Structure 1
Amino acid sequence: MIKYISASILALSLSSGLIADDHGVGLVSIKSQHTVKQTADRFETILKKKGINVFARVDHEQNAEKVALKLVPTQVIIFGNPKVGTPLMQCSKTVAIDLPQKALFWQDDKGQAWVTYNAPAHLKERHAIKGCDQVITKISNVLANLTRAAAN
């Protein structure tokens, strides 16, 4: 049943333009109209304006440079809100391993910037979450809206 639900969500997402490309199992990737840094900056600003906690911002490119290695622009923002995360953890304690939420901002081999995050439907399957469809739907909608706003 979960496979059918996940397939339905994927089909709906593809048709709505939510998922621009598949960059991994259980991930949602959206093409950005901005650079990696600009997209991450926009995302962080949106989070703060909405009162969502920003716990960390990791610049992997900058960290690679510190050890004389090269990496294309790659950043991760770790963020969350207990009003959203707590109900999810009440559904399944193990989902806490995937919280707080993370958004990855990265550049592909063609120079295109992307924003990627864990698909809540995948977390539902991974943690065998049952009876929490409203929570999963709410998180899916919030993540989609936040990332689209940063990418467009």
Structure 2
Amino acid sequence: MAFANNGLISVKSAHTVKVTADRLEQILNDKGMTVFVRIDHSVGAKHVGEVLRPTELIIFGNPKVGTLLMQCSQSAAIDLPQKALINQDEKGQVWLTYNSPDYLVKRHNIKGCNEVITKIETALANFSKTATMP
């Protein structure tokens, strides 16, 4: 199950936050993507004496594709590299969330980049589906 809201696409995961994030990171590596950093916000919260449900962020990208997007609209660089948020909601459900490429098109007034956007949409949908499925 997936839904879009406010420029975000969220996909329900059948796994814990850690397992979903591990699976996504492995998929990205297998596909030749660059995983720049993985941030565990829950650990950060613990360091300052706070509690946060499991929440991880993976920042990743592919300069071959990202550069093409930035050539269409250089302001898109503010939203690159791509990010995937994996978190557990208040009901215990885990979600993998990422920015909708359509949102980026609207936000940055991207024109003439349909092929690149389609490639990004397909890749993100495939990565998230594979990382979250049973």
TM-score range, shorter chain: over 0.9
Hey, which bits of structure 1, 4+ residues long, moved more than 6 A?
A: none
Structure in which a larger fraction of residues adopt strand: 2
Structure 1 residue 150 and structure 2 residue 131: aligned? yes
- TM-score, normalising length: structure 1: 0.85
Q: Give the drift of 1:21.
A: 3.4
Partner of 2:3: 21
Q: How does 1:52-71 map to 2 (within 5 A)?
A: 52-71=33-52
User: Which consecutive residues of structure 1, in runs of 5 or more, have no partner in the other structure?
Assistant: 1-16
Structure 1 residue 136 and structure 2 residue 117: aligned? yes
Q: How large is the RMSD of aligned CA atoms in angstroms?
A: 0.9
Of 37, 43, 62 in structure 1, the residue corresponding to residue 24 of structure 2 is: 43
Deviations 1:131-152 (A, max 9, x none): 1111111100000000110001
Partner of 2:56: 75
Structure in which a larger fraction of residues adopt helix: 1
Partner of 1:31: 12
Whole-angstrom CA distance in 1 between matches of 2:56 and 2:42: 7
- TM-score, normalising length: structure 2: 0.96
Q: Give the drift of 1:68.
A: 0.6
| Matched residue type, 2:14 | Q
Whole-angstrom CA distance in 1 between matches of 2:113 and 2:33: 22
Other structure's SS at 1:84 match: helix
Other structure's SS at 1:21 match: strand
How many residue pairs get aligned? The number is 133
Q: Which has the higher contact order (CA 8 A, sep 6+)?
A: 2
User: Which consecutive residues of structure 2, in runs of 5 or more, have no partner in the other structure?
Assistant: none
Q: Give the drift of 1:49.
A: 1.1
| Matched residue type, 1:140 | E
Whole-angstrom CA distance in 2 between matches of 1:61 and 1:50: 28
Q: Give the drift of 1:47.
A: 0.8
% same residue: 59
